[in-house]
């Protein structure tokens, strides 16, 4: 599904780019040129997207034990950088048009061409974002958001051309191109920022929250405490580590069974599609008051009440065994 979506993005993006450059040739409009220049970025980004999607689908191997999913962040980051470069080029072109005097013509044809391209891009962008979210593909979502930004760009160009058509005042055209460039800059920066966050394994509060909720919902009496929760996304897969405090008299067989159980909870209830590593910490006397395990042979104080698992609690750092 991801590969097909990437191929559709490349094919449609190439066709739309050709249509927009045809519109620029017909109108000599700075705003239409700005839209066409961004479409070049769309095509380049679609090529990067196709490469990253194909690579990310490869299974884990000796050199990449966590899989190849992080390549999608490189694709999204490169797309953000290309968008910023396109915005800079648009600003230069529009400024030059303002200084020398716009020469836009055949505005009605430009309206039709850009309007048609905008409608096509809107449908493509919605499709890419939908598939990307369903498949957990950062690169597809980034490309879809970029294409949707191109739709906003096209809408701005249409407004500028319509203003020229109605008023006859041609400077509306390069002024709108500058406004379009400002919107492109914002989107490019957002994509670049999110890509860097993914490459740096930035915490995902939504993912951590869903894991915490699943642990609390399915919590067993012998899950005395949870801490040290870490979770990162690598493309369409998540990798989770968690520390679980359990009765210190359990043997290795019981630990193995409990590890499988907590992993199953995360995979099913928290919709984790990657790997889960559970570290077991033995309980200590200071945990007795919060432990509801019945007939415990090592209990030193009676059970007083259990502390709910919250996000702040489960992500706290690992703690020495002798700390309360």
CB 10 within 8 A of CB 42: no
How many domains does the chain contain in total?
2
- Beta-bridged to residue 281, according to DSSP, are 245
**For residue 246, what are its two tokens?**
């359990």
HSE of 143 in the Cβ direction (CA atoms, 13 Å)?
Answer: 37
Question: Distance from CA of residue 277 to its chain's centroid?
Answer: 24
- Which of 264, 265, 262, 257 shows the shortest CA–CA distance to 278? 262
- Whether 179 and 44 share a structural domain: yes
| CA gap 101, 98 in Å, rounded | 5
Q: In the predicted model, what is the mean pLDDT of residues 145-153?
A: 77
CB-count exposure of residue 319 (10 Å: 0-12, 13-18, 19+) = middle
Confidence of residue 117 (pLDDT cuts 50, 70, 90): confident
Q: Residue 86: which pLDDT band, with cuts at 50, 70 and 90?
A: confident
User: CATH no. for residue 64?
Assistant: 1.20.1510.10
- Do 182 and 227 have their domain in common? no
**In the prediction, which pLDDT does 167 show?**
79
Cα separation, 296 vs 241, whole angstroms: 28
The pLDDT of residue 91 is above 60:
yes
Same domain for 216 and 164: no
**Quick one: 110 and 220 in the same domain?**
no
Q: What is the pLDDT of residue 33?
A: 75
- 127 lies in some domain: yes
Within a domain: 109: yes
Residue pair 293/247 in contact (Cβ under 8 Å)? The answer is: yes
Can you give the pLDDT at residue 85?
81
pLDDT value, residue 321: 54
Q: What is the mean pLDDT of residues 304-312?
A: 89
Q: Looking at the predicted structure, is the pLDDT value of residue 130 above 70?
A: yes
* Listed residue (205, 206, 276) closest to 238, CA to CA: 276
* Whether the predicted pLDDT of 166 surpasses 70: yes
What's the mean per-residue pLDDT of the chain? Answer: 80
Residue 320 has pLDDT above 70, yes or no: no
- Residue 201 — pLDDT band, cuts 50, 70, 90? low
Torsion region of 235: left, alpha or beta (phi above 0 gives left; psi -120 to 50 gives alpha): left
Task: Report strand pairing: 275-282 vs 237-246.
Answer: parallel
Alpha helices in 58-105 (DSSP H): 71-100
Q: Print the domain residue range for 102.
A: 2-199
Per-residue b/e over 89-106, b at no fewer than 16 CB within 10 Å?
bbbebbeebbeeebebee
Give the CA distances from residue 66 to residues 49, 61, 63, 232, 236, in Å, rounded to whole numbers and listed in that order. Answer: 20, 8, 9, 11, 12
What mean pLDDT comes out for the span 244-263? Answer: 89
Q: Is residue 189 part of a domain?
A: yes
Query: Across 10-19, 108-117, 142-151, which has the greatest mean pLDDT?
Result: 10-19
Predicted confidence (pLDDT) at residue 323 exceeds the cutoff of 60: no
Residues 195 and 210 in one domain: no
Which tens digit of pLDDT belongs to each residue from 35-63?
Answer: 777 777 778 777 877 777 777 667 777 77
Phi, psi of 94 (to 5 degrees): -65, -40
Domain boundary among 170, 199, 228: 199
Q: Percentage of residues in the chain with pLDDT exceeding 70?
A: 87
pLDDT of residue 322: 52
Confidence of residue 182 (pLDDT cuts 50, 70, 90): confident
Specify which of 24-33, 257-266, 288-297 reaches the highest per-range mean pLDDT.
Answer: 288-297
Domain-embedded: residue 321: no
Q: Taking the CB of residue 1, how many other CB atoms lie within 10 A of it?
A: 11
pTM to 2 decimal places? 0.58
Could you tell me the pLDDT band of residue 247, with boundaries at 50, 70 and 90?
very high
């Amino acid at each position: 599904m991801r590969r097909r979506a990437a191929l559709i993005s490349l094919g449609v993006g190439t066709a739309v780019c050709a249509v927009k450059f045809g519109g620029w040739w017909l109108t000599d409009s700075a705003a239409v040129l700005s839209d066409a220049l961004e479409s070049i970025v769309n095509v380049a980004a679609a090529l990067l997207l196709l490469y990253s999607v194909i690579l990310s689908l490869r299974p884990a191997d000796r050199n990449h034990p966590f899989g190849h999913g992080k390549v999608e962040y490189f694709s999204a980051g490169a797309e953000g950088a290309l968008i910023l470069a396109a915005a800079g080029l648009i600003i230069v072109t529009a400024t030059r048009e303002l200084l020398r005097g716009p020469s836009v013509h055949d505005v009605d044809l430009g309206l039709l061409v850009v309007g048609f391209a905008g409608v096509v891009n809107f449908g493509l962008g919605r499709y890419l974002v939908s598939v990307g979210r369903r498949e957990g593909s950062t690169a597809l979502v980034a490309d879809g958001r970029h294409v949707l930004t191109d739709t906003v760009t096209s809408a701005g160009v249409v407004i500028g051309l319509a203003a020229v058509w109605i008023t006859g005042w041609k400077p509306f055209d390069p002024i709108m191109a500058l406004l379009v460039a400002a919107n492109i800059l914002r989107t490019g920066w957002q994509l670049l920022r999110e890509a860097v966050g993914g490459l740096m394994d930035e915490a995902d509060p939504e993912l951590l929250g869903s894991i915490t909720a699943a642990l609390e919902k399915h919590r067993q009496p012998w899950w005395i405490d949870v801490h040290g929760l870490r979770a990162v996304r690598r493309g369409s897969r998540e990798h989770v580590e968690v520390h679980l405090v359990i009765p210190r008299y359990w043997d290795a067989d019981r630990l193995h069974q409990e590890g499988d159980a907590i992993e199953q909870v995360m995979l099913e209830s928290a919709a984790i599609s990657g790997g889960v590593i559970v570290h077991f910490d033995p309980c200590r006397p200071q945990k007795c008051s919060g432990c509801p395990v019945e007939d415990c042979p090592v209990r030193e104080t009676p059970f007083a009440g259990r502390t709910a698992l919250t996000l702040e609690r489960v992500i706290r750092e690992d703690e020495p065994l002798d700390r309360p």
